[in-house]
Amino acid sequence: MRVLVVGSGGREHAICLQFSKSSKIEKIYCAPGNGGISEIAQNIDISISDFDKLTDFVKENNIDFTFIGAEVPLSYGIVDYFEAKGLKIVGPSKNAAKLESSKIYAKEFMQKYDIPTARHNSFEKIDDALKFLENWDKNKKIVVKADGLAAGKGVYVCDGREDARSAAKQIMGNKVLGDAGTSIILEEYINGPELSYLIFTDGISYSMMPASQDHKRLNDNDRGPNTGGMGAYAPAPLATQKLNKKVETDIIRKVINGIKAEKLNYKGILYVGVILNNSSPYVLEFNCRFGDPETQALLPLLDTDLADICGAVLDRKLSNIKIDWKKEFSVCVVLASGGYPGSFEKAFEIKGLDNINCKYTTVFHAGTKRKDGKLITSGGRVLGITSTSDNIKSAINKVYLNVKLVSFKNMHYRKDIGKACLNDNYT
Ligand code: GLY
């Protein structure tokens, strides 16, 4: 089979690498891809939003199915567009992708299907939001969320009334997030550790992946600004069998029942971001695709052919296959350009990748490109390095030994990815 993967980050590199291990896949294309993806796939220079060019390319090259990595084309309806042309594509329809692209829709869905989540109010007018906040305690935390897609920048955790008023003004008044902030949610603040629960689903049945944990803040000990993710590990020791069962019963099954009841066309990946409070899981967010960097930790553990899983999802026969995961742990550390998530310089040569021992370690490229025979930086998150082992401590040790072999000017990475797992209460 021939497959087209749409996207250009570490997540898409992990997806392409998984397809490259499949005995069923003879050719991988990636639009637009990156410097690392080009080693295992043919990068094609088509924008992820140019559905006409993408469908023409798929037809001309007899591509059997397309796999969407990123959320933006899903929110624009790439699945509906491909399916209208009779092309197979893994991902949710535009309506189904609203679970990610509209936080208000997601909240209404959760209320309707009795899925635990923080209490909230939604607002279409800034005056109404500010009026609501007049009665808010000046020191009580509250979360302000933009309704639309905001590339990870749409959530403001505010310390109290004035902070929240200022966030609402920034989002709705100054339009700092553009149209994503036309409406907002004001949400009760819940404190606790977060877990990422991803599932494969064909809209009828589902298969849960090992729970993972992302590190969103830029610096060690969860300090500094939020980023797209500075590292991840899986399976998260915090996700005990008991908790996984509770998440499955209280959340995942209800989401699938809701998808069926609403007749949503959902064939792909659903990411449920969960926060734990007093051991009870609450949904923070839905994403309608693989997470990044979670995918760079998860897919090296997958022990079933991803092409077979996609085939089962596309045929709505996911319940017919058994999906296996290696009984190992993986840890992914993201190497970023100094300055990210703010402005940063690019085009620095990346050195040392040849020194990496690839037996238990994989290098995923995110912001790289090839120029004059050299690999150079081209984005904020540059590389994700993942090591696997039979225990998490050794996976952490291995990954950092390998991280130290790589360098580029102004390279920044967190030194504490997975460290929380080493506390006594995690072991
Ligand atoms: N790791 C968070 C996300 O993929 O949105």
Q: Give tens-digit pLDDT for 315-340.
A: 999 999 999 999 999 999 999 999 99
pLDDT over 90 (residue 425): no
Tokens linked to 99: 């679970």
State the CATH number of the domain containing residue 74. Answer: 3.40.50.20
**Can you tell me the mean pLDDT for 56-68?**
98
Q: Across 240-380, where does the E strand assignment appear?
A: 266-277, 280-287, 329-337, 361-365, 368-371, 374-377
Q: Judge if 261 and 150 occupy the same domain.
A: no
Chain segment 367-415, per-residue pLDDT in tens: 999 899 899 999 999 999 999 999 999 999 999 999 999 999 999 999 9
Query: Which residue matches tokens 């390319």?
Result: 57
Give residue 132 CA to ligand 1 midpoint distance, Å: 30
- Structural domain includes residue 114: no
Give residue 233 CA to ligand 1 midpoint distance, Å: 13
Percent of the chain exceeding pLDDT 70 equals 99
- Structural domain includes residue 98: no
Percent of the chain exceeding pLDDT 90 equals 95
Q: Judge if 173 and 213 occupy the same domain.
A: no
Q: Judge if 52 and 161 occupy the same domain.
A: no
pLDDT over 60 (residue 57): yes
pLDDT over 50 (residue 427): no
- Structural domain includes residue 427: no
Q: Judge if 249 and 295 occupy the same domain.
A: yes
- Structural domain includes residue 108: no
Give residue 38 CA to ligand 1 midpoint distance, Å: 24
State the CATH number of the domain containing residue 343. Answer: 3.30.470.20
How confident is the model at residue 424, as a pLDDT? 52
How far is it between the farthest Cα atoms of the chain? Answer: 61
Top mutation candidate among 212, 287, 364 for ligand 1, by most atoms within 8 Å of CB:
287
Domain count, the chain: 3
Burial of 357 (0-12, 13-18, 19+ CB in 10 A): exposed
Top mutation candidate among 292, 298, 299, 334 for ligand 1, by most atoms within 8 Å of CB:
292
Give residue 59 CA to ligand 1 midpoint distance, Å: 31
- Structural domain includes residue 360: yes
Q: On the CB side of 150, how many CA atoms lie within 13 Å of its CA?
A: 25
**Can you tell me the mean pLDDT for 108-133?**
97
Q: Judge if 176 and 265 occupy the same domain.
A: no
**Can you tell me the mean pLDDT for 256-276?**
98
Q: Judge if 244 and 170 occupy the same domain.
A: no
Top mutation candidate among 12, 100, 213, 271 for ligand 1, by most atoms within 8 Å of CB:
271
Q: What is the DSSP letter of 148?
A: S
- Structural domain includes residue 189: no
Q: Judge if 174 and 207 occupy the same domain.
A: no
Q: Judge if 233 and 377 occupy the same domain.
A: yes
- Sign for the CA dihedral angle at 25, 311, 7, 282 comes to negative
Give residue 291 CA to ligand 1 midpoint distance, Å: 4
pLDDT over 90 (residue 313): yes
Q: Judge if 32 and 147 occupy the same domain.
A: no
**Can you tell me the mean pLDDT for 117-126?**
96
pLDDT over 90 (residue 359): no
Give residue 292 CA to ligand 1 midpoint distance, Å: 5
Q: How confident is the model at residue 421 (pLDDT cuts 50, 70, 90)?
A: confident
Chain segment 199-225, per-residue pLDDT in tens: 999 999 999 999 999 999 999 999 998
Chain segment 134-167, per-residue pLDDT in tens: 999 999 999 999 999 998 889 999 999 999 999 9
Q: Residues lining ligand 1, judged by CB closer than 6 Å?
A: 214, 229, 287, 291-292, 294
How confident is the model at residue 114, as a pLDDT? 98
Last residue of a domain, one of 91, 116, 144: 91
Query: Which residue matches tokens 């997975």?
Result: 418
Tokens linked to 2: 């021939």
Top mutation candidate among 12, 214, 285 for ligand 1, by most atoms within 8 Å of CB:
214
Tokens linked to 37: 């993806």
Q: Judge if 249 and 212 occupy the same domain.
A: yes
- Atom 2 (ligand 1) nearest CA: 291
- Structural domain includes residue 316: yes
Chain segment 13-38, per-residue pLDDT in tens: 999 999 999 999 999 999 999 999 99
How confident is the model at residue 120, as a pLDDT? 96
How confident is the model at residue 422, as a pLDDT? 84
Name the residue among 421, 362, 347, 354 with its Cα closest to residue 391.
Answer: 421
Query: What pTM was estimated for this model as a whole?
Result: 0.95
| Residue 325 CB partners (closer than 8 Å, separation 6+) | 209, 210, 235, 301, 302, 303
Give residue 131 CA to ligand 1 midpoint distance, Å: 32
Q: Judge if 259 and 158 occupy the same domain.
A: no
Chain segment 76-111, per-residue pLDDT in tens: 999 999 999 999 999 999 999 999 999 999 999 999
**How many degrees, rounded to 5, is the angle at CA 283 between CA 96 and CA 49?**
35
- Structural domain includes residue 212: yes
State the CATH number of the domain containing residue 149. Answer: 3.30.1490.20
Q: Judge if 77 and 165 occupy the same domain.
A: no
Helix 126-134 × helix 161-168 angle, to 10°: 180
Domain that holds residue 41: 2-91
pLDDT over 60 (residue 231): yes
